[in-house]
Structure 1
Amino acid sequence: MTVGRVTVVAWPAQAGLGVALAEAADRAAPFPGLGPLPRRPIRLILAPSRAVFDSLTRGRLPSWSDGAAFPDPGVVVLLSDRPTVRLSGDLRHELAHLALRWRVGRPLPLWFEEGYAAVAAGEWGRLDALRLNWQLARGRRMDLEEVDAALRGDATDAQTAYALATTAVLLLERWGGERGLGALIARLGPAGGFDAALRQTYHMTEGDFEERWQRDLSSHYGWLAWAQAVGAFWALLGLLMVWLVMLRRRRDRVRRARLDEGWAVPPDDAPTA
């Protein structure tokens, strides 16, 4: 089945899902710092089981992986054993890998590629920030080389590594101002290296960036940020409890008022049963 520039390969039971995802891929929104996907053909393959997914990806990905992108042939493989809204995010993530590689023309540091795809797919949220705060508060820190290794490690390490990679890319995007990542990506052509692009864009080396990124992590995440986030949660919970107590008291007053209506108070010398 072909939708626009996207050819989808799916098992018969998932044909409708395949068409819907192909339509989403063909109409993908612009990517940060890149713009729209180039008008190149894309092959989207849905794997209905983990065994099929591992076979299609030749077992080269960790067991927790749900998607894969092969930029040179323009192929995206998605694990579709549990079709949910998650697939739309996974598709956007893998398309971001295609878009970045097609623009740059060569591999980049893994932390940047995965962090960029996570940013492009909108995967960073309040829960991720809270989880990262907790990990850093516990002393779980990595440098960028360790992040690269953890991105291909077990699920727990990879989860932390994805969060860290995302914060690194978000920092670069923040420094880019209105252009975001555009200026950096424009200098990441085949001729230059990542360090050279950092020097030209932000006037710093990779080592300088890593040092400033670690400082940024310390200032935005960790014990203080975690305590603030948890404190805000308990403050909201406390306000909710106060509101519930006030609501209960108001209801009790109404009930007592209704019970008092028409109730005659007996004289002091009235007989009792």
Structure 2
Amino acid sequence: MNFLKQLSVNFRRAIYFNLMLLTLLYAGEINWNSISGTHWVIFFEANDSKNANKLLTTLDQAYPKISVALGIELTDSVYFFMAPTESDYLNHVGSSIPNWSSGVAFPAQRRIVLKSPRTSNQPNAPFKTAVHELAHIMLHSNIDGRAIPRWFDEGIAVYFSGEKMYASGSLVSKAVISKALIDLMEIDRVLKFHQDKARLAYQQSYLAVRYLFEQYGAEQVKKLVQQLRQGNDLDQAMLNTIGMDMADFEYEWYHHIRNKYRWHFLMDFDYYLWIIILGLFILGFILIRRRNRKTIKRWEQEDDWDEPWSDTDSSTI
């Protein structure tokens, strides 16, 4: 049995290696360099040498935290491709991936494609994206290709990557006020969402997973992931660990965020304040200009009414 298991592992590794060779051939004229870590191989263009080394350090620091928290260890290498240009990125990920994406994980191939930090106006963002995608690979390696709800998948990824644009509650707060919250199961279609709705979906996913950690504890989340490994779907896994199914959890979580985040958008008050100040300045400018025009017009009318001065009736001595 052990022999057959090892044969299966070696067969999978051979498939992954051949997939990487095909990917490199498909990549066209890029002169790829590579560096290797304990669990990954990073392919990059020479101009990204410094970024590749930083990525290696980032992954080495992030992996133990994810591994311990979820009880997952990688048994095969993960392949990272740092696409030097936007067009190279699109060649790797295909046309079905939305243009707002900055990284994509392909769990079945253990492959992650990232945009080079040189293409970003936020140099640190691609490294957080890398951790985000690594969390996807690790979670999916735990469930042997079975599907899991996207909100849990994305929530785990954002939880460990710490991406600030998703970690705040500002978008959810506005969605609570406008009654625009997305059903968690609807987040399965996130890749078809426009960018603003996708950001809300990622933020909701993160806050739902964070609620799991904070309300039920890290150990229960780890047990939940173990339940997924054993073949349970998320609904049953939640019932076995936190004592409620998906519907009850979502109801409880919605009640929580409505109470906690209803007025959270006011934390952006300084942003709105400057908009108000600018609006008042423009309004004041328009009103002053209109008043000045009226004043000038009144003066012109008064000049027309004045009689010309004459000294014919004046007396002299």
Which bracket does the TM-score occupy, shorter chain normalised?
Answer: 0.7 to 0.9
**Are the aligned partners of 1:151 and 1:162 in contact in 2 as well (CA < 8 Å)?**
no
Q: Is the 8 A contact 1:115 1:165 kept in 2?
A: yes
TM-score, with structure 2 as normaliser: 0.66
From 242, 250, 257, give the equivalent of 1:202: 242
Sort the Cα spacing of 1:37 and 1:77 in 2 relative to 1 into closer, same or farther, 3 A: farther
1:30 corresponds to: 65
> Which structure ranks higher in relative contact order (CA pairs < 8 Å, sequence separation ≥ 6)?
1
CA distance in 2 between counterparts of 1:178 and 1:72 reads 27
- Match in the other structure for 1:7: 41
Distance of aligned partners of 1:214 and 1:181 in 2 relative to their CA distance in 1, 3 Å threshold: same
CA displacement, residues 179-212 of structure 1 (integer Å, 9 cap, x when unaligned) = 2521211111252111110110111121111211
Q: Which of 185, 192, 204 is the matching residue for 2:225?
A: 185
Distance 1:220 1:151 in 2: 28
Q: Which moved more, 1:5-14 or 1:117-126?
A: 117-126
SS at match of 1:40: coil
Distance in 2 of aligned mates of 1:196 and 1:52 = 41
The runs of at least 4 aligned residues of structure 1 exceeding 4 Å deviation read 124-127
RMSD of aligned Cα (Å): 2.5
User: Pick from 55, 78, 81: which aligns with 1:45?
Assistant: 81
Which residue identity does 1:53 align to in structure 2? Y
Query: Aligned in 2, Cα 1:145/1:40: closer, same or farther, shift over 3 Å?
Result: same
- Structure 1 residue 230, shift from structure 2 partner: 5.7
Query: Is the 8 Å Cα contact of residues 151 and 161 (structure 1) preserved in structure 2?
Result: no
Aligned residues: 232
Question: Are 1:86 and 2:125 an aligned pair?
Answer: yes
Deviation at 1:111, TM superposition (A): 0.9
The amino acid across from 2:175 in the alignment is Q
Mark the structure with the bigger radius of gyration: 2
* Structure 2 contact 69–222 (Cα < 8 Å) conserved: yes
Note if contact 1:69-1:97 (Cα within 8 Å) is conserved in structure 2: yes
Alignment correspondent of 1:246 = none
Contact 1:133/1:225 (<8 A) preserved: yes
Q: How does 1:134-145 map to 2 (within 5 A)?
A: 134-145=174-185
Q: Which residue of 1 aligns with 2:106?
A: 70
**Which residue of structure 1 lines up, in the alignment, with residue 253 of structure 2?**
213
Q: Which moved more, 1:171-180 or 1:108-117?
A: 171-180
TM-score normalised by structure 1 residue count? 0.76
Gaps of 5+ in 2: 1-33, 272-317
- In structure 1, what is the equivalent of residue 291 of structure 2? none
Distance (Å, rounded) in 2 between the aligned partners of 1:89 and 1:130: 20
Please state how far the C-alpha of 1:73 moved relative to its aligned partner: 2.3
Between the aligned residues of both structures, percent identity stands at 24
In the alignment, is the contact (CA less than 8 A) between 1:124 and 1:166 conserved in 2? Answer: no
How far apart are the structure 1 equivalents of 2:74 and 2:172? Answer: 34
Aligned to 2:275: none
